[in-house]
Structure 1
Amino acid sequence: MHSLLAFSAMHIAFLTDCPIVGNLAYEHRGIALKGLQEGIGSFGPETSDAVLAASLVLSWQATDWRSWTQLMQGTSSVVDAMASWSHDSQFYDWIRETGTFPTAPPSPTPDHRPSQPRKEDLDALNRTLAQLQKVEAHQKHQKEDTKHIQQLISFLKGSRKVSPTLSVAQQFERLRPLRTWLFYLPVMALQQSGCSVNSLVTIAHYYTVAVLMERLFPEIGAAYFGNLSIAPVEEIARCLLSINISGSIEGDLSTPMKLMQFPLEMVNEFRNRIGILEPARTPSFPQYNPPNFYTNEPANLPQATESFMPYGNPAFSYSHESLTGTMLNTEGIPQNAVSPLTLSSPPILRLRP
Structure 2
Amino acid sequence: MAGPGGGPSRRSHTKSRKGCKTCKRRHIRCDETFPQCRNCTKHQVRCDYMDSPTAMMPESPQSPQQPNLLWTPEIEAMIDLWRQTGEFPFPDLHVYPQLQWHALSRTDLRLIHHLSTISNEMVRNRTSKSTLWTDMMPKFLSIAASHTFVMHSILAFSASHLAWISQSTETRNLAFHHASIALRGLHEGITSFTKMNSDAVLAASLLLAWQATDWRGWASLVTGTKTVIQSMQPWKHESLFTDYITEHTPMSSRHFMNPINTPMSQVARREQLNALTDVHTSLQRLQPYLSQNDQEAKWVDQLRGYLDRLRSSGQPQTPEEQFNQLYALRKWLFWVPISLLAAKRGDVNVLVVLAHFYASALVLEPMFPDVASVFVSDLSLRPLEDIIQVVQAHQDPRLDARMQTMSYLVQFPIDVVLSYKTRREWARQQMTNISPIQQPAYALESINLDIENQITQYSYGQSLSPAFAPSPLTFLPSGISSTPTSPYLEVPRTNVDAYGTTTYATPLVSPAAVVPPYSAPQEHAFTFGMSTGYPSGFVAPPIWT
Calculate the TM-score normalised by the size of structure 2.
0.50
2:190 aligned residue:
40
1:15 aligns with 2:150: no
SS at match of 1:45: coil
- Count of matched residue pairs: 300
Q: Please give the per-residue CA displacement for 1:22-81, whole angstroms capped at 9, x wherever unaligned.
A: 222111111110010010121111111111111111111111222112111111111122
Query: Map of 1:90-129 to 2, 5 A cutoff?
Result: 90-91=240-241, 93-99=242-248, 102-103=251-252, 105-107=254-256, 109=258, 112=261, 114-115=263-264, 117-129=268-280
1:350 aligned residue:
none
Aligned-residue offset at 1:191:
2.9
Q: Are the aligned partners of 1:67 and 1:323 in contact in 2 as well (CA < 8 Å)?
A: no
Aligned-residue offset at 1:194:
4.3
Q: Distance in 1 between matches of 2:404 and 2:339?
A: 25
The answer for unaligned runs of 5 or more in structure 2 is 1-150, 451-457, 468-545
Q: Are the aligned partners of 1:76 and 1:101 in contact in 2 as well (CA < 8 Å)?
A: no
Q: Distance in 1 between matches of 2:275 and 2:333?
A: 20
Name the % identity: 34
1:148 aligned residue:
299
SS at match of 2:366: helix
Aligned-residue offset at 1:181:
0.2
Closer/same/farther in 2, CA of residues 184 and 14 from structure 1, 3 Å limit: same
Closer/same/farther in 2, CA of residues 314 and 187 from structure 1, 3 Å limit: farther
1:209 aligned residue:
360
Calculate the TM-score normalised by the size of structure 1.
0.75
Q: Distance in 2 between matches of 1:313 and 1:250?
A: 55
Q: Are the aligned partners of 2:176 and 2:462 in contact in 1 as well (CA < 8 Å)?
A: yes
**266-275 or 164-173: which moved more?**
164-173
The answer for unaligned runs of 5 or more in structure 1 is 279-310, 326-333, 344-353
Q: Distance in 1 between matches of 2:215 and 2:238?
A: 32
After superposition, the CA RMSD in angstroms is: 3.2
Q: Are the aligned partners of 1:59 and 1:68 in contact in 2 as well (CA < 8 Å)?
A: yes
Which letter does structure 2 place at the counterpart of 1:125? L
Which letter does structure 2 place at the counterpart of 1:43? F
2:332 aligned residue:
181
Point out which structure has higher relative CO (alpha carbons under 8 A, 6+ apart).
Answer: 1
1:219 aligns with 2:343: no
1:133 to 256, 279, 284: 284
Q: Please give the per-residue CA displacement for 1:265-296, whole angstroms capped at 9, x wherever unaligned.
A: 10100001111799xxxxxxxxxxxxxxxxxx
Query: Map of 1:212-291 to 2, 5 A cutoff?
Result: 212-243=363-394, 252-275=402-425
Which letter does structure 1 place at the counterpart of 2:464? P
Which letter does structure 2 place at the counterpart of 1:265? D
Q: Are the aligned partners of 1:3 and 1:32 in contact in 2 as well (CA < 8 Å)?
A: yes
2:459 aligned residue:
335
Q: Are the aligned partners of 1:201 and 1:260 in contact in 2 as well (CA < 8 Å)?
A: yes
Which letter does structure 1 place at the counterpart of 2:347? S
Aligned-residue offset at 1:19:
2.6
Closer/same/farther in 2, CA of residues 64 and 115 from structure 1, 3 Å limit: farther
Q: Distance in 2 between matches of 1:54 and 1:220?
A: 21
Instruction: Determine which structure has more spread, i.e. the larger CA radius of gyration.
Output: 2
SS at match of 1:32: helix
Q: Distance in 2 between matches of 1:104 and 1:133?
A: 38
Q: Are the aligned partners of 2:362 and 2:377 in contact in 1 as well (CA < 8 Å)?
A: yes
**253-262 or 60-69: which moved more?**
60-69
2:5 aligned residue:
none
**47-56 or 117-126: which moved more?**
117-126
